[in-house]
Amino acid sequence: MATVAITGAARGIGLEIARQHVEAGDNVIALARSASDQLNDLAAASNGKLTIHAMDVAEDASVKAAAAASGSDPIDVLYNVAGVTGPSSEKELETADWQAWNDTFNVMVQGPLRVLQAFLPRMDKGAKVINITSQLGASTWPYGGFYAYAASKAALNRLMRSVAIDLKDRGVIVGLVHPGWVQTDMGGAGADITPAESAAGIRKVAADWTLETSGDFLKWNGEPHAW
């Protein structure tokens, strides 16, 4: 039985990861700005296995308060899932909403590091930090657009590779996962795979991650992702 913490747990991939960990008998710390009906229902049916804590990953005080309220049990896996799409328009070359850019980087880059900092004292050797990133953050992505989103995911990838190096002596494993094109609010109904398929793949990849591969960028099916 593991204890896992999941940001962005109210919907989409985060909710499905939470559901599958509960079904596996694990204890789940569900972190979200506000709980959805689905998350509340999951908590009610979990026999105390899942607890919900309000957390806005963009705010230091909120992150620290939620981490403190979640108890003191060691964390086996921390999933950084929370994210935003950021600004996007056909005129991104001509104009930009810089406040929206700042907000995007705050959630997508600073946010995962804030959450890691808050839970790190509870992470022992062998604990894992699994960051949900995107193929848009790879230099091999062959399309334009989505400037703020793609740039923030590229920054997250580089940040967490550095974190992986710095945590290696402590035995804490860091991973970066592209979840696939998933049928969520962000991915749309026409996406390739369901949240259940993505979450099952992410959980298997996380379980198989080792210290030797800490900092790697993988796809949800376990294949390496080109940077």
Distance (Å) of CA 148 to CA 109, 110, 162, 177, 221: 11, 14, 21, 19, 26
37: in domain: yes
Element spanning 199, H or E: helix 195-208
What's phi and psi for 225, nearest 5 deg? -105, 125
Residue 129 token pair: 């930090």
Whether residue 59 is contained in a domain is answered as: yes
Residues near 139 by Cβ (< 8 Å), separated by ≥ 6? 154, 227
Q: What is the CATH number of the domain that holds 56?
A: 3.40.50.720
- Any domain includes 196: yes
Residues in the chain: 227
Asked if the structure places residue 65 within a domain, the reply is yes
Examine residue 225 and state whether it is found in any structural domain, yes or no: no
Please give the chain's pLDDT, 227 residues, in tens. Answer: 999 999 999 999 999 999 999 999 999 999 999 999 999 999 999 999 999 999 999 999 999 999 999 999 999 999 999 999 999 777 788 889 999 999 999 999 999 999 999 999 999 999 999 999 999 999 999 999 999 999 999 999 999 999 999 999 999 999 999 998 777 666 666 667 788 999 999 999 999 999 999 999 999 999 999 98
Q: What is the DSSP letter of 120?
A: G
- Residue 227 counted as domain residue: no
Tally of domains in the chain: 1
H/E segment holding residue 66: helix 60-69
Which structural domain, as residue segments, surrounds residue 195?
3-219
Tally the C-alpha atoms within 13 A of residue 95's C-alpha that lie toward its C-beta. Answer: 4
Residue 115 lies in a domain: yes
